[in-house]
């Protein structure tokens, strides 16, 4: 459980950093030598590792965990995606 919490915190940090990079590249402060961020074509979000199928060959550790991703992490992710021009979703 502690590992999932650490992972969630790391994902939040990464989402914030991506948001900062996107803002810097879109804003007027981007250096001329900065390369544009690659366009994301597919983003899969797994809000929880929980799976109730219980396949005997499953390789995923802790699939019985009912931990969920923090709402702030999702908010950061979606804000970053919106700033990056992602406007379509499925699911």
Give the pLDDT of the chain (91 residues) as one tens digit per residue.
677 777 777 777 877 777 777 676 655 555 556 677 677 777 788 887 787 787 888 887 777 788 888 888 888 888 887 777 666 666 5
Q: 74 is written with which tokens?
A: 């999702």
What total number of domains does the chain contain?
A: 1
Identify whether 88 is part of a domain.
Answer: no
Residue 27 has a pLDDT of: 59
Residue 89 lies inside a defined structural domain of this protein: no
Evaluate whether residue 39 is within a structural domain: yes
Neighbouring CB atoms inside 10 A of 18's CB total 19
pLDDT of 89 reads 63
Question: Domain for residue 53, yes or no?
Answer: yes
- Rounded Cα distance, 82 and 91, in Å: 17
In a domain, 91, yes or no: no
pTM to 2 decimal places: 0.43
User: What is the domain extent for residue 34?
Assistant: 2-83
């Amino acid at each position: 459980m502690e590992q999932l919490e650490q992972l969630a915190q790391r994902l939040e940090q990464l989402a914030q950093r991506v948001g900062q990079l996107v803002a810097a590249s879109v804003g007027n402060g981007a250096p001329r030598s900065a390369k544009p961020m690659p366009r994301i074509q597919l983003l899969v979000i797994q809000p929880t590792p929980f799976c109730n199928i219980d396949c005997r060959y499953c390789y995923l550790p802790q699939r019985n965990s009912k931990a969920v991703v923090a709402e702030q992490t999702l908010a950061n992710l979606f804000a970053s995606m919106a700033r990056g021009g992602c406007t379509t979703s499925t699911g």
